[in-house]
Amino acid sequence: MNISNNIFLFQNPSNIVFVMDASIGQACEAQARAFSETVDVGSVIITKLDSHAKGGGALSAVAATHSPVIFIGTGEHIDDFEPFEVKPFVQKLLGMGDIEGLVKKVNEIGIEDNEELIKRLKHGMFTLRDMYEQFQNIMKMGPFNQIMSMIPGFGPDFMSKGNEQESQSRLKKLMTIMDSMSDAELDHPKANDLFSKEPGRIQRVARGSGTATSEVKELLTQYKKFADMVKKMGSMKGLFKVISQTVFI
C-alpha cells in the first residue's frame, strides 16, 4: 500500500481505478477498504465473474470505496469485458438470469428461427421443447458458464458443481432426459403440472434416459424456474421492445 501511495503522490492521477477480484469473496472488503484508505478511488472494475464466484462479496466491498463500478470482466478475451449494468448483475446474483442479455447474445452470433419463440415469450409461453432448443443454441455459444448464468435457475448453483466441461456434461444429460419425453410432454404449456399429476411419466422418462427419477425431477424444477421468469416477463413491455429491436432487425 505504501508503494501505491507513493505512485499516487508522484503521478497525481485524475482517476484511480480499483480492479477487484470477485473470486476472493468476502476478503474483497478488507482489500477494498485498505486500498481506498490509501488513495482516492474513483471507480471500480470487478473481474473473474466467469468463475464460481457469485460476485456478492465483491459488490458489498464496493461500498467501502464509495465509488461506482464501471466495468466487469467475465472471461479472458476482449469481448468478455463489458460495462457494468445494475439490473442484469443483480438478477444473475439472485439466480434470476438475464433473459435480455441471452437474447442479445443469440442475435449477435446469428442464430436463426427465434421469431416464433420471441412471440411466445411475449405471451408468457415457454415449453420444455423451447428450453431444449435454447440448450442447443447455448452449446453453440460461449463462454459456456457465462451463458448459463443468464438463464433463470441455471446460474451459480448449476455452475458451482464443477468446471465448464462438467457443466456442459450436465447440460447434455438434461437434454438426454428430454429426448426420452413424448411430443405431448415437450409441448405441454404446463409440463410441471402434467408430471405432478401423473408421476408415472417421471419413472418412464428416467428409465428411457438411463437416469434417476431425482434427476428428472431436478430438470423439471429448473424448467419451472425458467418458465416462471418468462411468464413474469410477459408483461414487461419495455424488455420486449428491446428484444424486438435486437432480434427482428
The CATH fold assigned to 115-247 is: 434 Repressor (Amino-terminal Domain) (1.10.260)
Classify residue 212 by its DSSP letter: -
pTM for this structure?
0.57
Classify residue 38 by its DSSP letter: H
What pLDDT, on a 0 to 100 scale, did the predictor assign at position 53? 57
Q: Which CATH architecture has domain 14-97?
A: 3-Layer(aba) Sandwich (3.40)
What pLDDT, on a 0 to 100 scale, did the predictor assign at position 249? 32
In 79-208 the beta strands, taken as DSSP E runs, fall at 81-83
CB atoms within 10 A of CB 200: 8
Give the domain ranges of the chain. Answer: 14-97, 115-247
Q: How many angstroms from the chain centroid is the CA of residue 145?
A: 8
pLDDT tens digit string along 68-115? 889 988 777 777 788 888 777 776 666 666 766 766 666 665 555 556
Confidence band for 159, pLDDT divided at 50, 70 and 90? low
Classify residue 16 by its DSSP letter: -
H/E run at residue 246:
helix 237-247
